Structure 1
Amino acid sequence: MLYGSCYYPEHRTSSEWTEDLSLMQTAGLNAVRIGEFAWTRLEPAEGRYDMEWLDEFIKTAARYAVYIVLCPPMRTVPAWLVEKNPSIRIETSEGVLLEYASRYSFCINHPLLRQRSSALASVLAQRYGDHPFVAGWHLDNEIGDEPDCHCPVCKEHWQNWLKSKYKNIDNLNQAWGTVFWSMEYCHFGQISTPRATKTVFNPSMMQAWRQFRSSVNTEVVKLLADAIQPQLSNISYISTNNQMPWNNHTDYYEMAELLDITGTNYYPPYGENCRSLAFGLAANRSFKKAPFHVYELRSEGHSIIGAASNTPEPGELERLTLHTIANGADAVFYFPWKRFPYGAEQNHGALTDYAGKPTRIYHECERIGSKLRRIASMLSGSMVVSDIAVLYDFPSRWHAEEPSPWTGETGLYMKQVNTLYHTVRNLGFNCDAVGRNGNFTAYKLLLVPMLPLVDDELVHKLAEFTASGGIILFHPMCGIKDMDACYYPDRMHEGLKELLGLRHLETASSSASHPVYFTWRNHQYHGRFFQELIKSEGCSVEGEFASEWYADYPAVIKNKFGKGESWMVTTFAEESFYKDLIGSLTSSLGISEILGVGVTPPSELEVTLREAADGTSFIFILNCTNKTVGMELTNTYPDIWNEESVSGEIMFAPHQVRILVRDNS
């Protein structure tokens, strides 16, 4: 297990390296991520490389048994490169050229940027590709975290991309429905990028644009990976850090195909909402259905006046670190090692202070490191395994989040994802994410938060999963449009109507402040935002609306399909409903909770399970509050984190972590 920090040797002298690396070794840190912002130091002038300082640093780090994850930089460029060709800067949708005064303000399609960054990556790989202490290669940093560029280079690339996708202009006009507003094109050269305009763009154009921008990010990953891969020995890997779940600019399932290991940054709030971003970890392990790395984990609080949920209490860093490992991380890097006395992030918290001296957080990191050294080999090879998954679909998310008065609440997609995910977790089960191209058959229960864009292939896949014995839970806005964001003639894909056993009638909307009520199993619940008004054509009506003019219309339906069942809630329901429904569905499928059948953990505790190939289960239980919490165990377990045996009623101190071992053999 790599346990380390993000480090910037270009900020420090060689004598300070020795001091820093000694402190890292004492704290149990065995790796540093370096290089992502060091382009000017690595190539101070075009074609003139200076690697001697990096040679010295890597040699020094090796003396302290600290491994290197090396980041070939790309999107924070030297001033000489901008001076050579100022057109390398991003041009916004309003026509503004971004200044050379911040990071990620450069066009990743620009041939000069691609040429120089890939050349630098190749030089680095030639020099360090087989170095025994260079464990991994981290491609640039946060790829996709920049504004969309609309420069002439991007416009030409966009037009060529459309030509490759649609083959001829008639196909594009037909797919986009450009006859509306007389927007038909004669050739691809007439198609602009979606710059500032009078009103909204065609949704089909915007869907294609988001797919294009995602593909560009994937191109960059391939560009850098191709520059590095030929020089690497078999001891190192290629990775990068995405931004989950707040950045939707990239389909990370597609990007992951080019990586050996996926990685992410993770900056959840401290305090009572510390689990609010946890779906991002489930998503990251789903991109390759494998453990992942956390390349930036928050540590100390930031020095920001008035910032809420910002400062960790004693023990919170331990809980946060083990939270990422419990949810599938096999490497953790804190950001950063040392506070920056200068630059845009000088108020960012760190493990050491502005002078590089240990802080309270450093000493907590040291305690974590001593325990991780002891248990890392036990956890090696274990994975999070679940019978339940949320279908996480980037094309549908792009469509749902496109700002437009016709879209409605753009945050609803991720809100619904999180509602379903957290309901499953709070009930005491593991929960995965899975993409549209993922393996549905690995699961018994598939939760579909919203799925507006479907094609024949996906609908067939959903039907096969159900026919073979799975259960799917659908919601409004599922299966209504093709992949170009145009409605199906009857507002739902014919195959999905068959799978659900219904006929669509019309829709109704409601505001968040005006809930609508429905019944299910003699209980009343409320929904909000949107209602699909349907008629049964074979499905059984399990619940009905109890308010508004559409009272008695179906609100919950079930359709037997092959060996399985498809369910639909025709509104976006409150969490208590999902708790009751999902609890019922898991029981019918024979899915047992992590702690045993029917055992729901206290709401203050997070319970997650990692399984090893030999049948050993590691049950992580984390107190996510600053209060003492008790819980009853039905068996006796060794607690390998605290080196004790526990049984009966056990107590969790504020933010305390336990890792219980269960032998299932």
Structure 2
Amino acid sequence: MTPPDPADSRDRMRRLRARLGTLAYGGDYNPEQWPEETWLEDVRLMREAGVNLVSVGVFSWGRLEPRPGVHHFGWLDRLLDLLAEHGIGANLATPTAAPPAWLAHEHPETLPVDAEGRRVAFGARQHYCPSSPVFRHHAADITERLAERYAGHPALAMWHIGNEYPGLAHCHCEVSAAHFRRWLAGRYGTVDALNAAWGTAFWGQHYDSFDWIEPPRGRLLGGPNPGHHLDFVRFSGDESLACFTAERDIVRRHTPDIPVATNFMGGFKHLDYWRWAAEEDVVALDIYPNSWDREGQVLAAYNFDLMRSLRGGEPWLLMESSTGPNVQRRRNSARPAGQLRPRSLQAVARGADSVMFFQWRESRVGAERYHSAMLPHGGTRTRVWREVRELGGELPRLAGLAGGRVVAETAVVWDWDAWWAVELPGHPSADLDFRARVLDHYRPLWHANVPVEFVSPRADLSGYRLVVVPSLYLVDDAGAKNLTDFVRDGGHLVMSYFSGITDEHDRVREGGHPGAFRELLGLLVEEFSPLQPDETRGLDHAGRAGVAGEWQDVILLDGAEAVAEYTEGEYRGRPAVTRHRFGAGTATYLGTSPDQATMSALLLDAAERARVAPVLATPDGIEAVRRRAEDGTDHLFLLNHTDRPHEVPLPPVAGPDLLGGAAPEGGVLRLAPYQVAVFPEP
């Protein structure tokens, strides 16, 4: 398993951009659901809509191999020929996310087992155990045949491996158990080292052999061992990654110049996407935020920024999104008229080289027959079709941005190990929510139009002025030193509570809390005192009244100064937020969850002290993003996410709106509801 060389990956993506000539536009195409005469209408309408790339074959294993060793490729031959004839590229999938009925029937041991011992049934998708040698054998075989047959086909533009890994996040079958033991032996070398890492001296859990160890499954009389659970999560991700890389290596051998990716699910808990991103040529995202969620654009933006960050700021692909409802929720309202445009171009503004949807034609059958599509049940007479066609007509105007980047001087630390560990049971609060904490810190920066990238604790931080660290509960020595050195060398850091508490094995660090960061922060946390769900405490931040919720640290200052204090309760007058000069830099610590206004004031004050400038000051609901083209030209995106017009003061620009719809008057731009404007800058 050798990750692709980053330079080779960039070359493959340059060739893809050159082939498309513009940003990719299209979606999942499932022609096996339709008679072949419909395909001709599909490709005609695709051309009308500006579609240049479609994902095909994602769930077609049963159609391609209806019986073991019996292959029907003729239909896919005809489809790819048709796409090539009409100048539409194929993002050809290995169909291994939907194992066929015969595999489940003849090899039921390939079906995954949950923690309660229940075997998942056939009848949906992703019903496979990633550790199963039988599944891996058949998955490799169908992948080999596809790669061999379609290498060199003129429609083949990129490879789409599997789909939305994993199915069941953690398989607990006996095969997985055996693989888990081997994984542990490889990680620790000796069972004594494992005992030390897991702290098995507690409750007499000592193991004399790796053979004694089971996956964390079944009923326990007491709390689980944190190290055991954490390692099983890591192992499960590695097993899925091994399935991906096996198929990737097969297609790479046949088509070394074609980019390879799979589709991520944004801030998804069960896979460490830092590791996955290094194994593919480009990051691709599936995202379905609520169209009626008042924070939908914020949730989308943080996912877009995370995807862009996973490969060091390189462009990424929006692989799946929705034109409307996506049948995931109890009530799925239609998307407001006009909203499709800013939500799609928001991805381009934040580094995407594509806008793609699930799916092209709305299904008549199956579990997702009411999931929206580019071509709805109502056909070309619908509003959705008109908006899809208009968007496809606009994207070529932004072709010069393909390959471009977003420049950020602020980083937010995101670590999957810390996420997994902080949400395990047995903590001072069972309501610790990693993503909620990240969003609490991200939200004020988004509203202020401060560009953000995400980083791991061990990343190179030299290009950032401000680093924000939401609840980094678990951190290894290298990560702790990296963040400490960043501040010592002159950086500004904002860290929130329950950070630095444990090492990489989830063992509490000695010397008092916050463990790894006591010296950096200049304080000692005497006690953790989470607030009850209906409790709050008053705050005083620089004379402004605020509210604390969720959590209270009982802080003793040891070099730091208080920035905010509690104004009521047992800890009235005690520090709630502190600031510490450390080396040439400054570290701010949040010992509670402040209200949004206070959180915004704290973060924007830190940004100002770090000399981080926003892209542009805009009215609420207007997003401003700057994307730099490969030729170095900056482009200012202004996106109106509201159903009301707004006026925006416009800085000097170097040309007219690339989308042709907005003309400033007297230095002021009037944006209509859901309007987007893109200006080249001097």
Report the TM-score, using the length of structure 1 for normalisation: 0.95
Which residue does 1:39 correspond to in 2? 61
Answer whether contact 1:119 1:227 (CA < 8 A) is retained: no
Instruction: Note the C-alpha offset of 1:344.
Output: 1.0
Answer whether contact 1:447 1:473 (CA < 8 A) is retained: yes
Instruction: Note the C-alpha offset of 1:233.
Output: 4.0
**Matches of 1:385 and 1:445, distance apart in 2:** 13
Which residue does 1:445 correspond to in 2? 466
Residues 202-228 of structure 1: CA deviation (Å, up to 9, x unaligned): 111111111111212221221111111
CA distance change for structure 1 residues 174 and 233 in 2, over 3 Å: closer, same or farther? Answer: closer
Q: Bigger shift: 451-460 or 128-137? A: 128-137
Q: Which amino acid aligns with 1:528?
A: G
CA distance change for structure 1 residues 151 and 623 in 2, over 3 Å: closer, same or farther? Answer: same
- The number of equivalent residue pairs is 654
Instruction: Note the C-alpha offset of 1:147.
Output: 4.1
Answer whether contact 2:128 2:167 (CA < 8 A) is retained: no
**Matches of 2:470 and 2:255, distance apart in 1:** 41
**Matches of 1:4 and 1:38, distance apart in 2:** 19
Answer whether contact 2:662 2:670 (CA < 8 A) is retained: no
Instruction: Note the C-alpha offset of 1:299.
Output: 0.8
Residues 233-289 of structure 1: CA deviation (Å, up to 9, x unaligned): 42x2001111122x3110000011110001110101113332142211111111102
Q: Which amino acid aligns with 1:448?
A: V
Q: Bigger shift: 128-137 or 356-365? A: 356-365
Aligned counterpart in structure 1 of residue 157 of structure 2, from 135, 144, 154: 135
Aligned counterpart in structure 2 of residue 232 of structure 1, from 234, 255, 260: 255
Which residue does 1:570 correspond to in 2? 591
**Matches of 2:648 and 2:335, distance apart in 1:** 24
Which residue does 2:15 correspond to in 1? none
1:382 lines up with 2:401 in the alignment = no
**Matches of 1:21 and 1:140, distance apart in 2:** 24
Which residue does 2:331 correspond to in 1? 307
CA distance change for structure 1 residues 161 and 348 in 2, over 3 Å: closer, same or farther? Answer: same
- Mapping 1:37-436, distance limit 5 Å: 37-198=59-220, 199-234=222-257, 236-245=258-267, 247-271=268-292, 272-278=294-300, 279-289=302-312, 290-302=314-326, 307=331, 310-354=333-377, 359-376=382-399, 378-402=400-424, 404=425, 406=427, 408-410=429-431, 412-436=433-457
Answer whether contact 1:639 1:646 (CA < 8 A) is retained: no
Residues 77-100 of structure 1: CA deviation (Å, up to 9, x unaligned): 111112221111111111111111
Residues 493-516 of structure 1: CA deviation (Å, up to 9, x unaligned): 655211112223222110242112
CA distance change for structure 1 residues 356 and 627 in 2, over 3 Å: closer, same or farther? Answer: closer
**Matches of 2:656 and 2:460, distance apart in 1:** 34
CA distance change for structure 1 residues 407 and 535 in 2, over 3 Å: closer, same or farther? Answer: closer
**Matches of 2:360 and 2:559, distance apart in 1:** 61
Answer whether contact 1:518 1:525 (CA < 8 A) is retained: yes
Answer whether contact 1:91 1:151 (CA < 8 A) is retained: yes
Which residue does 1:605 correspond to in 2? 622
Q: Bigger shift: 538-547 or 496-505? A: 538-547
Q: Bigger shift: 294-303 or 451-460? A: 294-303
Q: Bigger shift: 348-357 or 427-436? A: 348-357
Q: Which amino acid aligns with 1:631?
A: V
Residues 621-650 of structure 1: CA deviation (Å, up to 9, x unaligned): 111111222222243552111255424232
Query: Secondary structure of the equivalent of 1:453?
Result: coil
CA distance change for structure 1 residues 443 and 410 in 2, over 3 Å: closer, same or farther? Answer: same
Q: Bigger shift: 515-524 or 447-456? A: 515-524
Residues 505-529 of structure 1: CA deviation (Å, up to 9, x unaligned): 2221102421122322222222222
**Matches of 1:243 and 1:111, distance apart in 2:** 26
**Matches of 2:328 and 2:543, distance apart in 1:** 50
CA distance change for structure 1 residues 145 and 294 in 2, over 3 Å: closer, same or farther? Answer: farther
Answer whether contact 1:3 1:30 (CA < 8 A) is retained: yes
Gap runs ≥5 in structure 1 = none
Q: Which amino acid aligns with 2:331?
A: A
Instruction: Note the C-alpha offset of 1:483.
Output: 1.1
1:658 lines up with 2:677 in the alignment = yes
Which residue does 2:526 correspond to in 1? 505
Instruction: Note the C-alpha offset of 1:357.
Output: 5.2
**Matches of 2:528 and 2:515, distance apart in 1:** 18
Q: Bigger shift: 323-332 or 435-444? A: 435-444
Query: Secondary structure of the equivalent of 2:96?
Result: coil
Answer whether contact 1:532 1:571 (CA < 8 A) is retained: yes
Query: Secondary structure of the equivalent of 2:652?
Result: coil
Residues 2-36 of structure 1: CA deviation (Å, up to 9, x unaligned): 10111012112332111101000001011110111
**Matches of 2:66 and 2:513, distance apart in 1:** 58
**Matches of 1:75 and 1:379, distance apart in 2:** 33
Instruction: Note the C-alpha offset of 1:405.
Output: 5.8
Q: Which amino acid aligns with 1:638?
A: P
Query: Secondary structure of the equivalent of 2:177?
Result: helix
Q: Bigger shift: 250-259 or 190-199? A: 190-199
**Matches of 1:305 and 1:168, distance apart in 2:** 47
Aligned counterpart in structure 1 of residue 640 of structure 2, from 607, 623, 628: 623
Query: Secondary structure of the equivalent of 1:529?
Result: strand
CA distance change for structure 1 residues 93 and 472 in 2, over 3 Å: closer, same or farther? Answer: same
Answer whether contact 1:304 1:347 (CA < 8 A) is retained: no
Q: Bigger shift: 72-81 or 609-618? A: 609-618
Answer whether contact 1:518 1:526 (CA < 8 A) is retained: yes
Query: Secondary structure of the equivalent of 1:481?
Result: coil
Query: Secondary structure of the equivalent of 1:639?
Result: coil
Q: Bigger shift: 510-519 or 633-642? A: 633-642
Which residue does 2:668 correspond to in 1? 649
**Matches of 1:160 and 1:525, distance apart in 2:** 52
Instruction: Note the C-alpha offset of 1:304.
Output: 8.8
Residues 151-185 of structure 1: CA deviation (Å, up to 9, x unaligned): 11000011111111111111111111112222111
Q: Bigger shift: 9-18 or 412-421? A: 9-18
1:548 lines up with 2:569 in the alignment = yes
Gap runs ≥5 in structure 2 = 1-22
CA distance change for structure 1 residues 303 and 522 in 2, over 3 Å: closer, same or farther? Answer: closer
CA distance change for structure 1 residues 409 and 657 in 2, over 3 Å: closer, same or farther? Answer: farther
Report the TM-score, using the length of structure 2 for normalisation: 0.92
CA distance change for structure 1 residues 117 and 618 in 2, over 3 Å: closer, same or farther? Answer: same
Instruction: Note the C-alpha offset of 1:613.
Output: 4.0
Residues 399-445 of structure 1: CA deviation (Å, up to 9, x unaligned): 1233x364634462111111211110111211121122332222111
Query: Secondary structure of the equivalent of 1:277?
Result: helix
**Matches of 1:524 and 1:498, distance apart in 2:** 29
**Matches of 1:311 and 1:355, distance apart in 2:** 14
1:638 lines up with 2:656 in the alignment = yes
Q: Which amino acid aligns with 1:316?
A: Q
**Matches of 1:625 and 1:201, distance apart in 2:** 47
**Matches of 1:542 and 1:635, distance apart in 2:** 38
**Matches of 1:125 and 1:42, distance apart in 2:** 13
Answer whether contact 1:34 1:70 (CA < 8 A) is retained: yes
Answer whether contact 2:363 2:369 (CA < 8 A) is retained: yes
Instruction: Note the C-alpha offset of 1:388.
Output: 0.8
**Matches of 1:314 and 1:400, distance apart in 2:** 40
